Structure formats: structure tokens, C-alpha cells
Structure 1
Amino acid sequence: MADQQYRADGLTRRTVLAGGAALGLTGAAQAQSAALDLEAARREGQVVVYNNWQPNGIEPLLQRFREAVPGIRTEQIRLGSNPLIERFQTEFVAGRNLCDVLVTFPDERIDEGLKQGWMAKWTPPEFSNFPAEYNNSDMLFTIQHARECIIWNKTQVRPADAPKEWADLLDPKWKGRVGMNPPWRSVSIQQICAFWEDIGIKDAPERLKANEVRFFEGSGGIIQAVVRGDVRVAELTDLPLNPLLEDGAPIGFIYPKSGTTLSANKAFVAAKAPHPNAGKVFLNWLMTAEGQVHLQTYCGLSVTRKGAPPLSKLPATAQLSNVVDGEAILTPARQAVIVDKWRSVFGIR
């Protein structure tokens, strides 16, 4: 059993004895293992993780980490991307540093935080197994992707009536029966709103208001509303979709042929982390082959490690049509315009 416990470099004793070359590790990657100090992490005794993962998957994921790395307790704060970043920013400015690792969908505040000293500069030993573009300045690492899709309740929507394209959400036949996240709440929704504009849907706020769209707080709330039948169709960030499909939920889904946006879930170790060694051990574990499988299984998003298995019920990103990086089309100026427009149309101050 001890042979299977996690080592500071993300490997088990057995795989080390099998030889690093067989695992495709370079000499540089093996040398980076010195960046982790497992004994120091255990002396610190805990890691505090700020995240926006699927709520019911967080504790099983953390339990897997505790099993792999005995001696490090876990605490976590789960919020939507916007309040999560705001909380970290406020604490950093106040000198009240409580977070060790932050995982979220970023906005421009994360880019500014990278310049302002929010993040520890280091390279996780496991990063040799990831595409180089998923490392931003040896501080910010892309570990998962979310995609936008349309879902519907299969017991209430006939196959012939199921939506095929984004514009179908605006069809009056769904009046009072269409749901989504409010765009002022989530960066990923702001990105799909920008994409809608780019493919010619210029009046989505007005038409969805006329269609009596129902807003829900978070992807979990949306998909549960569809399962209950509170709404029949919805726009969804596919964070909770795969686990519910595995459970047999009567959900139909489509990634429209016109395209969709991709949101990068990124992680960093805080520069002023109260438990910096434990934070590094935890983030590196998330990037191991084992950690990526658990991250995908419990948190429902496609992972970014090379050679990782696909989600069980959803297509790989490479199989989708016209996938656009949401960050590339949502500049800060455009984000402000989109949020202001949607707030104005729906009377939100």
C-alpha cells in the first residue's frame, strides 16, 4: 500500500523503480521534483483551496487527494468565478492571505493579479506532460476546459423539436421554458454572448427577455431546473453535464455546428500562501495522471494533460465544430459593454 502513496514528484515508488524514461519524463522534469517538499507540506498540515468546481464533486476529489497524500488536511471555499476572484483580490489587498491554491475561470483581474504578485512563480514537475501553451509565466496553469452547449429535458421535448442551434433558444415556442446563467454573473456566459454577436445574433438580450428567460445561479442550478422540468431547454456551461448523464438523467444536449466557446479553468499557488508547500503538492497532484482522471471524474470537465482519457459521455473538444477560445474574443472593454447591455435590458442595477 505504501508503494502507491503519492511522492513529492507526483510518482509512486513503484513507477520510479520502473524508470522515469518509461514514463516519458525528461531529465529536466525529474530535476524539477526538487521544487516540491513533501515533508514540509506535511509539517504545514493542510491546504486551503478556493475553487469553482461542481459542488458535489469537490469532497470526493479532495478525499482522493488525502488518500494519495496522507498527512495533509483539506479545506475549500467554493464560489462562482466572479465572487471567488473578488474575494481573493480583497484578501490580498488587505494582507489577509488565507488561500493556498485558487482554481477558477479567469477574467482580466487574474491577468492583473499575475502582474501584481498574486501568484508563486514555479513549474510543477508534472507540467512536462502538458502542452506548453497551458503555462502562463510559470505561475498560472490551465488544467481543465469547459464548453458551452444547449441542453433539454428529453421527457418533455420531442427529438424533432429539440434545439439544434443557438438561435433556437430565442424561438417563442420556448416562452417561459428557457433557462440560462445571468450574463452579469459569469465570464463563460459573457463569452458565449460575445460569440452570439459574432455569428449574427445581435439582439439576444431583447429576444430572451421577450421569451421570459429564467435565470439560475450556476450551471448546477440550471441543469437541475431542466431535470425537474422547471424549464425545458437551457444554455449551459457543461461543468455538471457528464456526471448527470452517467447517472442516467434524461438530458439531451448539443454543441451547435455554428460553434461554441471554450473556457479555460486555471490554477495557481498563491505567492503569499499560508501553506505554500502543501499548495504546490496539491496543484502538482491535480496535474498527475491520477489527479487528472479524478478531476475529470468528479468535477465533470475535460482535462488538459496529454493522453488523458476523454469524458465518458461527452465528445472531445477536437470533435466539436468551430471551438473558439472565449478569452480571445472577450476583451475587458467588450465585457463591460455586454454586461451593461444585459443589465439594462433586464433592469438590473
Structure 2
Amino acid sequence: MRSPSRITSAAVAFAAALATLGLSACGSDGSDPAEVADASDFDAVVEAANKEGKLSLYTNLAIGYEEVIAEFNKEYPDIEVEAFVGKDADILARVEQEQMSNAAGADVVWVSSSQFFKAQGDGVLHELTELPSAALWDGSPYFHDTYMQVLQFPAVLEYNKNVTDPPTDYPDLLDPKYKGKIGTVDPTLTPNLVAFNNYLKEKYGADYLEKLGELGIKFYDSGPSIEAALQSGEIDVAAYASALGAENGIRSGAPVAYNPAPETPVTNASAGALQSADHPNAALVWMNWILSKEGQDAMVATQPEGVFVSTLDTEAKVYLLKPEELSPEEWPKVGAEQKKEMGGN
């Protein structure tokens, strides 16, 4: 059986990376960056991208990234996308190592929190404002000139099908029948969970996390670990689960189901293109595609309804969690406090 995770140094390393990762704008061999076509002449950018022929995408989208790449390649078949998929801390550590050693690596970085991008100075990320699709985002809180918040990921109430009368709202998780059979993602590992737990306390009471702790809640190191525990029956319900992970389990035939969470709390992922990219034009083509209405719609369409929510969808009725409002120094401390409230070490 999969064991609950313990506190590791990953949260500390992630926080340090967010706060101090000063990337250079050199190419992977230490030379000047590859030549970038004028973004205002997007046909020239596409032509240059096709000549580059590759794109290195670093993403935490462990489920669904292959479908997203396939949709991109329908429009840009001459750009081969190579994906490195991992947790935020792993991605940022790898980017830092590549920068320090001038090794070939990421062209585009896609991680959960915008803090990584906010921490970068001038000359690190490509400006996106001249891309054709940028005009769609005029005035949008999800567009930040050098990076954008890509998609929204709804949280759901997921459970193993052996549960009778499953939860439909977060207070239902406090039922004593779930004692020792409830899990969540360790909040010391990602600011998204810190923001989510803050939401639970604001919505359901300052002592909500303590009440979860009284039930012997178990901590896991990622969404996929939560999914594995639910599918095996190690836990019956998840205090935090994503619609994406739940749907993937259902498609694979796992004995899980879920109910939509009230208010539909959502987190989002952010993406940007590094100026040090070996394939800078391909990186800009990718960014323009995910900024476009066609790209947003195509990504949403890769999953069942409600799994991805477009950040262009101003009519979506969601409650946006804002992990970026927590500083890189603050969120690991708050996460540790939350875990302690829930009975963790």
C-alpha cells in the first residue's frame, strides 16, 4: 500500500527557487540566445519555429499534457514537442541546474504558481504583448506581459465507490465514518494547497482544519498519490482532489467517483517562455497558441466538461484561489502551520 508522505526538504527548495532563481539570458552553451523573429511579424515567427523543429516543454500537467500537445500539433505539425513532466519543485530545480551549467533545457515552463514568473527580473522571459493572441487578453487579470495563467482546474469531492452517501460539500468530510480514511495533499509542498486550505477555513470556520486532523487525515505528496490511495481503498475520500485527476481515474476504470464542489474553487497554472530557450520561436508559437481562443478551446475540449476551465471564460462561475498572493517566503510557513493544525508533523 502507498504510505502517506512525510515532510521533506522539497518545500524549502521550492521556496528558495521561487525567491532566488535568477535566470540568465544566455543560450544553453553559454553563447548569445538563438535569434528570435519579430513577434509583430508572426508569420516569420512560425517560419523560424518550423525550422527549429522542436520545443522543450516543462510542465506539471501530469494528466492531459499529451492531449494538449496533440491539439497543438494539429495546427503546427512541424514542431515536435518534447515534454518533461514533474512536480513544480522538480521542474524549477531542473531549470536552475540547466541555467547554472549552461545545459540545453526548457523553452517553456508551465507550473502551478505564478510566483516563479513574478520573481524573475528583466531579460529572463520573453515579452508576449506583441503576439497576435495577446490582444484577446487586454485588461485580463490572467495576462502579465511575460507570462499568463493558462487554465483553471476545479477542485472536486472525490471518493471511492465503496462509500455510501458520499460527500457533496466540505463539511460532509467531517463525518466520523471517515476517521482514518481521508487524505489530502501535503500543504508544505505547494502554495495551491495553502490557498485551498485558507479557503476552507474562511468558508467553513477557523477550526475546520483542526476538525479534519481529529479524523486522522493522511498526507500525500501529490495529486496522483491521492488518486492512487483512493483507487486502492487506502482512503475513502479526499479533502483535496482535482476534476482532472478524478476523471482520469474514472476513464481507467478505477472505482472512484466525484461530486462537484460548491462554488467550484479553482487554481490555475502559469506559463512563460525563457529567453535562454534553444527554440525561442517555437516557444513563442506555443505561447501564442495557448493564448488564442482556438488554443484555449482545444485544451478545454481534451477533457470532459468542467475538468478544464478556460481563463478566457469570463462567464465561468468559479471561486478563484489565489496562491500568488502568498509570498515565496510566506507560503511554506503557512503550509507548515496548516499541516500542524491537521495533526501533521
Match of 1:133 among 133, 140, 145: 140
Q: Distance in 2 between matches of 1:62 and 1:302?
A: 17
Task: Look up the SS of the partner of 2:268 in the other structure.
Answer: strand
Kindly provide the CA deviation profile for residues 96-152 of structure 1, in whole angstroms up to 9, marking residues without a partner as x.
451111112115333112x35431113331233346324544211122012333222
Contact conserved, 1:54 with 1:240, CA < 8 A, in 2?
no
- TM-score, reference length from structure 2: 0.74
Alignment partner of 1:285 is 2:293? no
Contact conserved, 2:50 with 2:282, CA < 8 A, in 1?
yes
Q: Distance in 1 between matches of 2:153 and 2:266?
A: 6
* Corresponding position of 1:173: 177
Alignment partner of 1:42 is 2:50? yes
One-letter amino acid of the structure 1 residue matched with residue 51 of structure 2: R
Alignment partner of 1:156 is 2:162? yes
Q: Which has the higher contact order (CA 8 A, sep 6+)?
A: 2
* Corresponding position of 2:79: 72
Q: Distance in 1 between matches of 2:257 and 2:327?
A: 33
Higher helix share: 1
Match of 2:332 among 336, 339, 348: 336
Contact conserved, 1:51 with 1:103, CA < 8 A, in 2?
yes
Contact conserved, 1:219 with 1:238, CA < 8 A, in 2?
no
One-letter amino acid of the structure 1 residue matched with residue 84 of structure 2: I
* Corresponding position of 1:121: 127
Contact conserved, 2:137 with 2:143, CA < 8 A, in 1?
no
* Corresponding position of 2:310: 303
Unaligned 5+ segments in structure 1 are 1-30, 308-315
1:1-349 to 2 correspondences below 5 Å: 32-34=40-42, 37-55=45-63, 57-96=64-103, 98-113=105-120, 115=121, 117-123=123-129, 124-130=131-137, 132-134=139-141, 136-153=143-160, 155-158=161-164, 161-199=165-203, 201-204=205-208, 206-234=210-238, 235-244=240-249, 250-256=256-262, 259=263, 261-298=265-302, 300-306=307-313, 317-318=316-317, 320=318, 323-327=319-323, 330-332=326-328, 334-342=330-338, 344=340, 348=345
One-letter amino acid of the structure 2 residue matched with residue 65 of structure 1: F
One-letter amino acid of the structure 1 residue matched with residue 321 of structure 2: D
Unaligned 5+ segments in structure 2 are 1-38
Q: Distance in 1 between matches of 2:184 and 2:85?
A: 20
Task: Look up the SS of the partner of 2:285 in the other structure.
Answer: helix
* Corresponding position of 2:33: none
